[in-house]
Structure 1
């Protein structure tokens, strides 16, 4: 009888001291892309996805009490992977557009920017608007907000759609494409690495499609969204977000 009571007491004590099941035990799958540097990219040295959005969701997870497992995938498959439960979170260079908000939910703002314009380095024209490229063949990345926006203008002879931004840069670099439109920070970071010496980022260009990068979750996960927003606000307030942005060459924004 004494032994039985001892076992019962030990069991109760263990139940009290062990953490409750739930967020602390959860490993959430996070969809990120291998070609969105500095937001997300494949680090060939470690064969893992790294970048600003990986650092951010990792810190959010630490604060909110869940672990993250980064799942590499193409940008165009992120939303479908989330809604089909293949992943639990999207943390990439994805704009929280009105069309996407009809399908998934987004966190509060992480970073705001518009499209950048790249042309061959031999093209010295100071392009200011899309009208300056009327009748030309241009390129943009599949699944981004830029593709439909460019096509709707009716300005271009063709809007070629590419799987990723490095492919756009390669075609501009070799002269096969007159101009390319893509996420300004990603273009700027790629060109700073010197991998596309024959490409020029047009600083005189004024973006048209300006959006806000945010973290995506399923519409059926309001508790997860609340946890992410709470932790994101905390990390903004204590300077963690600013530190992460600075690590990847971006300046913190007001808001």
Structure 2
């Protein structure tokens, strides 16, 4: 007769194994600290928050993964993703053909174009890039606006943040500041930028959609798209857009 010996702690270990196996993975998400309302640093909590942070957090909740948001400069997002320092990009990043060569993008999240801020009192009727040849302008490093502005004949200076651009517009160092229209309009409406206004009649030339990015071929993309589709279907996406006071999607 074979006697079964009781090993202390073995039963507890066996019972704990399924729970450990079900612990959801935590993915590192790169988001910028300067892209309000999409992503920004909340100084009260010292954490990155915003529309795109809440979006990827909710997608993760629905799809069974956690997120750890890492503050990453915009110009370093793709390099951080391709080098595996982060697992996802969830920021105000347009899914351009050039970027698609380096990373995979989700289905479109939100579509918009560039916005133009000018100094209060500026009265020239600029309605598009064709009207602005020779104008001194600012754009953020790493954004897709720089080359189209230069091609249209603007004198372009590059900056590290939208805030730096708006400062120089208000001081008269440049005549126009370019940035993502929802970001620029939101911050002007919140009173973040003093002495500038948005060109209300301007029609954007560089229109695109932002998406969540993964490394090429990463299986996580299927889960991201599934969560995104579910949020669009049940109204959660519309509610999130309204919460962050984003203008209507221009798609």
Q: Same fold (TM over 0.5)?
A: yes
* 8 A Cα contact 1:115 1:210, kept in partner: yes
What is the correspondence of 1:219-238 to structure 2 with a 5 Å cutoff? 219-221=216-218, 223-238=219-234
Where 2:200 maps in the other structure, the secondary structure is coil
CA displacement at 1:201 relative to structure 2: 0.2
- Report the CA distance shift for 1:26/1:129 in structure 2 as closer, same or farther (over 3 A): same
| Cα shift readout 1:48-106 (whole Å, capped 9, x = no counterpart) | 11100000000011011111000001100000000011100000000000000000000
- Distance in 2 (CA, whole Å) between partners of 1:103 and 1:58 is 24
Query: What stretches of structure 1 of length at least 5 have no aligned partner?
Result: none
- Distance in 2 (CA, whole Å) between partners of 1:6 and 1:35 is 54
Question: Alignment length, in residue pairs?
Answer: 249
Q: Report what 1:211 is aligned to.
A: 208
Where 2:21 maps in the other structure, the secondary structure is coil
* 8 A Cα contact 2:112 2:250, kept in partner: no
Structure 1 residue 49 corresponds to structure 2 residue 22: no
Q: Report what 2:19 is aligned to.
A: 18
CA displacement at 1:195 relative to structure 2: 2.6
- Distance in 2 (CA, whole Å) between partners of 1:115 and 1:254 is 12
Q: Report what 1:72 is aligned to.
A: 71
CA displacement at 1:135 relative to structure 2: 1.0
Q: Report what 2:114 is aligned to.
A: 115
- Report the CA distance shift for 1:172/1:115 in structure 2 as closer, same or farther (over 3 A): same
- Distance in 2 (CA, whole Å) between partners of 1:146 and 1:34 is 20
CA displacement at 1:196 relative to structure 2: 2.2
- Distance in 1 (CA, whole Å) between partners of 2:97 and 2:65 is 28
* 8 A Cα contact 1:34 1:40, kept in partner: yes
Where 1:145 maps in the other structure, the secondary structure is coil
- Distance in 2 (CA, whole Å) between partners of 1:165 and 1:53 is 18
CA displacement at 1:18 relative to structure 2: 2.8
State the TM-score, normalizing by the size of structure 1: 0.91
- Report the CA distance shift for 1:19/1:234 in structure 2 as closer, same or farther (over 3 A): farther
State the TM-score, normalizing by the size of structure 2: 0.92
Where 1:49 maps in the other structure, the secondary structure is strand
What is the correspondence of 1:73-222 to structure 2 with a 5 Å cutoff? 73-153=72-152, 155-156=153-154, 158-221=155-218
Where 2:81 maps in the other structure, the secondary structure is helix
- Distance in 2 (CA, whole Å) between partners of 1:9 and 1:75 is 50
CA displacement at 1:125 relative to structure 2: 2.3
- Distance in 1 (CA, whole Å) between partners of 2:195 and 2:9 is 74
Cα RMSD (Å) of the superposition?
Answer: 2.0
- Distance in 2 (CA, whole Å) between partners of 1:232 and 1:217 is 14
- Distance in 2 (CA, whole Å) between partners of 1:194 and 1:13 is 56
- Distance in 2 (CA, whole Å) between partners of 1:232 and 1:19 is 27
* 8 A Cα contact 1:171 1:177, kept in partner: yes
